[in-house]
Structure 1
């Protein structure tokens, strides 16, 4: 039996929101001693930690200094972060301490969507046509060149912030400033900060993969549900352990080519693609675990533990990727009816829900003022529900029941 003190030490940079990430720390702590580096004191994370360090900020310099102090006192096996704004910091620490991981330059290439596009274009990999622009006039010229509709996208943001579909010059002019001005901490200030891209027709998927010594193994395919057009709010996801795309030769070739072009060698990636009539085309690659409970859904659908697989890869240990289940798991998010909705209460009637119902989680509480997208993009959700079933039909039915069981009490509404 391995004693707690014998477990390898893993540095984790920031933990994120408990409701979305606790299951990861819970699994990882069974195999590794976790030391959390964050700008706030550990709280809910404490049962899973061997130690923690509070830094003045989570920029690369502060995080690296803290990591060096920890490594001077005891051996460190690996470092990881599942937070988009901190994956570069984790890569910088790994390089400085000689730990496993994708090179920092490649992680920066994922964070910078223009660098991603440029690297893929050099290899002829499938993606939308694109232009990078710095002002409205350049954006209008790019859209005329590409042809409407086009997608405006911040060069380095995440979570669909600032991403919008525009169908003509008037809509582009109306939306451009909001896209350009999305705040993105811990990234360079780009003079040309907006991508104008060809709009791709077709359903969107995400593929969470573990990468070990250059070998890309897709584990979970998320079938996305998008709402609140012209924005791209992710309102739900379905993950099937029997998804045929997990073994589709064409998709596997595209995934391998993308990772090779970007230089992703070790760790976890979240790749978003559109399934067009010409085959899969890349939307973007994130050098981290997927958000929105996608890894949790993957774990429930396949039996593969994403926390253990990701932490093993971060520590140079070949991860376990063999599925032990082939179920379907889904999540659905719920939103307020109007901008500036003042919440009295959010809950679910749990009295008559089917057995496939899994998590029922209010995300807003009394006194919160919440808005749907665009105003409430990302933080406009008031509740979520997940379901796990033996097939997609039963999973969707359970999510429908959860939606019908949502009980929202509103004190006042604005617009």
Structure 2
């Protein structure tokens, strides 16, 4: 364990895993300016160092009970005000730490119910939350039977992965036979294990606009902070290739939608922390896709910050510590992101460049993700790790924001090695 002397008047916060620098450093930087952040990680920190008060290198950050034992010793030396994690594969392990230390969001059964999408479906089904029909299966024969019962098209979905890994639309039995191994065998980026009896969900394919809602929950009260409108590409897969966040999104002020969001959280027993909830806005109304007990992935929280002025890192940390925080937007803008990929599988990058002279004034960032010599692929093989660059934009209207992203697309280029 390594510690750095920090300002004693700042609360001490335990963070489990830091994530990818390109997607998470802004969050850690914000935390570091208001909290004494102690990081649990599997390697010595590098880019994280300026934002840390201390760190502990562990064999893994998946074993919640082992981490809880280490955290208990640190807590006795200098108490933690809260425990935070924004990595999907580690939120359940983190809940064991919170439980051990008596912090908020410390109920592993509740968090596991969110991680295990089959349990999510069961709990919400009992509560009458509108959602697609869903059947957990283990074999292609069971999947075919479930699909016949639900009706094509259907969605094949892993029971507990994130980032749309392994998710694919299937239109008929032949396609189901072809794609079932893809969903079943999609590797997890972490070693978390789900039920081996039924690792795949066969779900009704509901259509419409897919959205996400990032919210803070305090003592069971859900406050939606911003809505992300998704752009999904590479059909029949479900790769998220862009997001748009409007601080004045009408769903934020829709009493019926807010009541549905509250009812969903009540049904799952989630009472403290941050959630990222996904819906499909179908012709029959909002259909719940999933609830994640963490900050939104990709750059969704960053877009929320740009659009609303609300700092997701500080609000999430406050919820973890049982402290109040401001949730009224200080900005009324629209922010968006677009991700870029190579054209063919197994492309070895020569150079990724951005012609910044072509970027319109509304562009906020243009970030290269792939270094020379790296081999990448588009979805489904590449997924989030196959991205080579992204651009973000902020403007007064959705139309202006999208137009800026369209122009920026022409400024991003890559060569093959």
Gaps of 5+ in 2: 1-5
| Mapped contact 1:37–1:66 kept (Cα < 8 A) | no
Gaps of 5+ in 1: none
Distance of 1:290 and 1:321 partners within structure 2 = 17
Distance of 2:151 and 2:358 partners within structure 1 = 51
Q: What stretches of structure 1 move > 3 A for 4+ residues in a row?
A: none
Distance of 1:274 and 1:176 partners within structure 2 = 23
Task: Report the counterpart of residue 114 of structure 2 in structure 1.
Answer: 110
Task: Report the counterpart of residue 142 of structure 1 in structure 2.
Answer: 146
Task: Report the counterpart of residue 126 of structure 2 in structure 1.
Answer: 122
Distance of 2:279 and 2:353 partners within structure 1 = 34
Task: Report the counterpart of residue 48 of structure 1 in structure 2.
Answer: 51
| Mapped contact 1:310–1:319 kept (Cα < 8 A) | no
- Using the TM superposition, give the Cα deviation of residue 10 of structure 1 relative to its aligned residue in structure 2, in angstroms: 0.4
1:194 and 2:197 are equivalent in the alignment: no
* Aligned pair partner of 1:131 in 135, 143, 147: 135
* Aligned pair partner of 1:214 in 211, 217, 220: 220
Distance of 1:347 and 1:242 partners within structure 2 = 34
| Mapped contact 1:55–1:66 kept (Cα < 8 A) | no
Aligned length: 409
TM-score, structure 1 length as denominator?
Answer: 0.97
- Using the TM superposition, give the Cα deviation of residue 182 of structure 1 relative to its aligned residue in structure 2, in angstroms: 2.4
TM-score, structure 2 length as denominator?
Answer: 0.96
- Using the TM superposition, give the Cα deviation of residue 120 of structure 1 relative to its aligned residue in structure 2, in angstroms: 0.3
- Using the TM superposition, give the Cα deviation of residue 393 of structure 1 relative to its aligned residue in structure 2, in angstroms: 1.3
- Using the TM superposition, give the Cα deviation of residue 62 of structure 1 relative to its aligned residue in structure 2, in angstroms: 2.8
Task: Report the counterpart of residue 12 of structure 2 in structure 1.
Answer: 9
Segment drifting more, 99-108 vs 314-323: 99-108
- Using the TM superposition, give the Cα deviation of residue 65 of structure 1 relative to its aligned residue in structure 2, in angstroms: 2.2
SS of 1:6's equivalent?
A: coil
1:370 and 2:376 are equivalent in the alignment: yes
| Mapped contact 2:368–2:390 kept (Cα < 8 A) | yes
SS of 2:319's equivalent?
A: helix
| Mapped contact 1:153–1:163 kept (Cα < 8 A) | yes
1:298-349 per-residue CA deviation (whole Å, 9 max, x = no partner) reads: 0000000000000000000022111011100000001101111121100100
Task: Report the counterpart of residue 28 of structure 2 in structure 1.
Answer: 25
SS of 2:146's equivalent?
A: helix
Task: Report the counterpart of residue 408 of structure 2 in structure 1.
Answer: 402
Task: Report the counterpart of residue 61 of structure 1 in structure 2.
Answer: 65
- Using the TM superposition, give the Cα deviation of residue 188 of structure 1 relative to its aligned residue in structure 2, in angstroms: 3.5
1:116-170 per-residue CA deviation (whole Å, 9 max, x = no partner) reads: 0000000111000111111111000000000000000000111101100000111
* Aligned pair partner of 1:100 in 94, 99, 104: 104
Distance of 1:10 and 1:186 partners within structure 2 = 25
Distance of 1:408 and 1:188 partners within structure 2 = 39
1:233-244 correspondence runs (5 A) = 233-244=239-250
| Mapped contact 2:65–2:96 kept (Cα < 8 A) | no
| Mapped contact 2:358–2:408 kept (Cα < 8 A) | no
Distance of 1:256 and 1:173 partners within structure 2 = 38
- Using the TM superposition, give the Cα deviation of residue 189 of structure 1 relative to its aligned residue in structure 2, in angstroms: 4.2
Distance of 1:396 and 1:64 partners within structure 2 = 45
- Using the TM superposition, give the Cα deviation of residue 183 of structure 1 relative to its aligned residue in structure 2, in angstroms: 2.8
Segment drifting more, 227-236 vs 370-379: 370-379
